[in-house]
Amino acid sequence: MTKQIEFPKGFYWGSAASATQTEGAAHEGGKGENIWDYWYKTQPKRFYEKVGPEKASGFYYNFRSDIKLLRQTGHNSFRPSISWSRMFPNGFGEVNPEAVRFYNEVIDALIEEGVEPIMNLYHFDMPLAMQEIGGFENKEVVEHYVAYATTCFRLFGDRVKRWFTFNEPIVPVEGGYLYDFHYPNKVDPKAAAQVAFNTLLASAKAIESYHKISDGKIGIVLNLTPSYPRSDNPADVEAARIAEIFCNKSFLDPAVLGKFPEGLKEILAKHDCLPVYSKEELAIMEQNTVDFLGVNYYQPRRVCARETLPNPDAPFMPEYYFQNYEMPGRRMNIYKNWEIYEQALYDIAINIRDNYGNIEWMVSENGMGVKDERRFAKGDYIEDDYRIEFFEDHLYWLNKGILEGSNCIGYHVWTFIDNWSWMNAYCNRYGLVSLNLTTGNRTIKKSGEWFKALHDNNGFSYEGVLPYE
């Protein structure tokens, strides 16, 4: 059975990218070191095939031709990030004129091609100079971030009318301060709580600054992983409730509602992990919530009650209260070991509608990473039908949420062009456009052609299973 899927007029179609993963020129144009440059320099063996961010996708030198490819792949919008360490090599002080020139030219080129820039201010790339004084453990760094953000608003805000303060702010908390997959590689739950609080404070203060000088819209991008209990057993349900508090509501509630979720403070206090904060800071958060929300969705979180008692001497982790559950028969992306569960995007849409004031929101990332994509190539042309199927299945469920009143305004994929991916380098490819690492050549994949048709038709003919019909 075929169903015509149509989206609202003016829907944002596009993709997201990050400075560190695409720009390259890591030590050029006056850019200062960020934590990824430093970590790669000091521990290259922790990176896949010892490939670091120095060259990435070469966007810094190829942005004009890359932006033309954006239009050719159906983009009417694009969310790149600005590099704080390129703008301010030491994190503060005098702005780098080469960075200002570069980002001005990128923004102008996007607008010239009819692609609306939606700029993100922070995508995991703390300037090394800021990390050396504690990163977001230190409230001084909060003020430096706000000054950086305000500079960007003043320099680029005449053309950029939608901004994001942070991308997936929970990830540096988890990776850098709990689970050791981001620099500074600490395992310190109290520091993690402080970094989380200060990041949210930095976001609220940047929002406050933005609204003093602009009438555009500013939000935050959160990676939401809906927490599903293994069963209706009360212990499993409680495990999912606490997982939801830590993994979703800890950032979602203060960003959108201006307050932290019920129960979080009590749990952190029990484990001596409460951050240092003031009533004035809580008031700033309450008064400066987001105008719209970005949602990155890749996989659900399935949990159950713990089957073993936690070690009382181990550092506190959220998993003290739950454990991950691998549902038999789940559909998997074997290259990332992530479950594919499209219906969660509908559940997110309805949750935002019912519990978060039906705030304006967009899917800011959704994508499928695949290893060794050359297996699916005819010459330089990659026939990535698996990616098209992935997008269609997710869009089917997103559309259902929109039809039921959820205020979703766009769908961005990860990503435009195959990019360097943190510790995984180029292990998995995500792009609508293939990047030849040897020659630098760019070739639109089958999914890129499909995405162009999706944009042109503002929808598509869905021929998959119609589970909700």
271-320 pLDDT per residue, tens: 999 999 999 999 999 999 999 999 999 999 999 999 999 999 999 999 99
Q: What are the structural domains of the chain? A: 12-455 (3.20.20.80)
Q: How many residues does the chain have?
A: 469
Query: Is pLDDT at 1 greater than 90 in this prediction?
Result: no
Pick the closest to residue 130 from 49, 202, 81 (CA basis): 202
Query: Is pLDDT at 266 greater than 90 in this prediction?
Result: yes
Q: In degrees rounded to 5, what are phi and psi of residue 358?
A: 50, 45
List of residues 6+ apart from 412 with CB closer than 8 A: 12, 13, 14, 15, 16, 77, 79, 362, 363, 364, 365, 366
Q: Are 115 and 79 in contact (CB under 8 A)?
A: no
Catalytic site positions:
168, 365
Please give the mean pLDDT across all residues of the chain: 96
Query: Is pLDDT at 469 greater than 70 in this prediction?
Result: no
Tokens 């935002």 — which residue? 352
pLDDT in tens, 110-150: 999 999 999 999 999 999 999 999 999 999 999 999 999 99
Q: Residue 380's pLDDT is what? A: 86
Which whole number is the average pLDDT over 248-256? 98
